[in-house]
Amino acid sequence: MADERRLIARAQSGDAAAFRGLVERHQARAYALALRILRSGPDAEEVAQDAFVRAWTSLPAFRGESSFATWVYRIVARRAFDRAQVLKNRRARERAEETLPEHAAPEGADDDSLRAALLQRLVGGLTPAQRAAVTMFYYEGRSVEQVASQLGMPENTVKTHLLRARAALRTAWTHEMGDEA
């Protein structure tokens, strides 16, 4: 922690090597957050890089009221949500509706793995903000407060995203599974 504060102070005074050290510490999680929101490796990589560029240019204004990680992840989340909106608008303009082919169940797949795959597909269909909140809260075990901080949202907004996501997942699950659910 003290080591990171020293890196931040050096980076704030223009030391690019110190900032590179900060990037190396946080790039994997920044990319993972962008990937959870965007579901596209190349887009997530672009967003993560853009977020670090923005962090570098905004670093002199960083006051340390939150951790550096929280600050960077907030930038990543905002950039990813913006990129998701751009991609959504582009798809709407192109009107290229793609239908995914139904895949046969892999041989030897048990019910648990089929249900897990279905749940993963249904989570993928949530809005980017809902998908990020669900992933961080349920899959990573973060608290609502931590999710809110990292996504740069009020806690009540995160709770609303989780509530709506659960309702959407419940409806989609029931539709997919029929009476089995």
**pLDDT digit string, tens, across residues 37-53:** 998 999 999 999 999 99
Model confidence band, residue 109 (pLDDT cutoffs 50, 70, 90): low
Q: Please determine, for residue 103, whether its predicted confidence score (pLDDT) is greater than 80.
A: no
78 and 25 together in one domain: yes
Instruction: Name residues whose C-beta falls within 8 Å of residue 11's C-beta, 6 or more positions apart in sequence.
Output: 18, 19, 22, 56, 59
Global pTM?
A: 0.65
65 and 140 together in one domain: no
Distance CA 154, CA 132 (A): 14
Report, as an integer, the average pLDDT of 118-144: 87
Model confidence band, residue 102 (pLDDT cutoffs 50, 70, 90): very low
Range of the structural domain that residue 75 is part of: 1-98
Looking at the structure of the chain, the number of domains it has is: 2
Report DSSP letters for 89-109, one per residue: HHHHHHT----PPPPPPPTT-
Amino acid at 41: G
Each residue's pLDDT tens digit, 56-75: 999 999 988 889 999 999 99
Residue 33: CATH number of its domain: 1.10.1740.10
Amino acid at 113: S
Distance CA 125, CA 131 (A): 8
67 and 93 together in one domain: yes
- The last residue of one of the domains, among 73, 98, 123, is 98
Q: What is the total residue count of the chain?
A: 181
